[in-house]
Amino acid sequence: MKSISSHGLLITFEGCDGGGKTTQLRRLAERLQQEHWPFLKLREPGGTDISEAIRAILLKKSAVSLFPETELLLFAASRAQLVREVMEPALQAGEIVLCDRFMDSTTVYQGVARCLSMESVQAINSLAIGAVKPHLTFVLDITPEVSRQRLLQRNLCGMDRMEEEDVAFYTAVREGYLRLAAENSDRMMVIDANQEESVIANLIWERVKMAWLAR
Ligand code: TYD
């Protein structure tokens, strides 16, 4: 697929819940700010009024009756809005767009872990993103057991609907990411998330610097 921007850069952060994506995204944003490189920080689902409203439906604890197909379409709807309203204009303006989760989350969570047809997931993903494709994707890899532990520590007041899934679900998520990364090694980089936070931040920074200077 042809990328929409020849100047901007779309960088996505992926992995099991609790792997430290959000921390690393923040650290990269701080670094970009120091360097005065233009960037924008986004999260999925969310990032526009419509997408945030969809996020509330998706993560609400009481939404247990949400069917996997409904879930897939809602994640895609949130993304379709974010891509057109925010991402495309920023990439066309030459910015570095950092996104906490993107289409690979749908492939892995809805396609692999929820066992929806991969053909449908790919078709819907492709409709949602149009010509916008990540240039770089960092997969922060941790075991499902560590993921559970970190989530329990972080969410002392309770987990959201997705986080309440069991270890088998997160095992499928992890394996899904590792397989996807092996198939897309041109843009996806798996990082052992058990490493020191600053070591991971430096790895990411070096890779981003290379991509930005080579664009
Ligand atoms: P969030 O609180 O943003 O979690 P995290 O900090 O781990 O990103 O919740 C997003 C949840 O939604 C997370 O469990 C992953 C899930 N998700 C999907 O299942 N499919 C998707 O396409 C996306 C974007 C997220």
Banded model confidence at residue 1, pLDDT cuts 50, 70, 90 = very low
In one-letter notation, the amino acid at residue 41 is: K
Is the CB–ligand 1 distance for residue 12 below 6 Å? no
**Digit-coded pLDDT (tens) for 162-204:** 777 888 999 999 999 999 999 999 999 999 999 999 999 999 9
Best probe residue, ligand 1, of 98, 109, 152 (max atoms within 8 Å of C-beta): 109
Name the residue of 17, 52, 70 whose CB sits within 8 Å of the most ligand 1 atoms, as the mutation to test its pocket.
17
What backbone phi and psi angles, to 5 degrees, belong to 140? -90, 110
**What average pLDDT does range 108-114 have in this prediction?**
97
Confidence of residue 2 (pLDDT cuts 50, 70, 90): very low
Residue nearest to atom 22 of ligand 1 (CA): 106
Q: State the residue for tokens 């992890």.
A: 174
CA angle 214, 2, 36 (to 5 degrees): 35
The rounded distance, in Å, linking the Cα atoms of 97 and 88 is 10
Is residue 214 predicted with pLDDT exceeding 50?
A: yes
Query: Residues 174, 180, 185, CA angle at the centre, nearest 5°?
Result: 120
What predicted TM-score, i.e. pTM, was given to this entire model? 0.94
Instruction: Please tell me the distance from the alpha carbon of residue 45 to that of residue 39, in angstroms, as a whole number.
Output: 19
**With 60 as the cut, is the pLDDT of residue 73 above it?**
yes
101 lines ligand 1 (CB under 6 A): yes
CA–centroid distance, 64 to ligand 1, in Å, is: 15
> What pLDDT sits at residue 65?
85
Q: Residue 207 has which token pair?
A: 């890779």
Looking at the predicted structure, is the pLDDT value of residue 160 above 90? no
For residue 6, is pLDDT > 60?
Answer: no
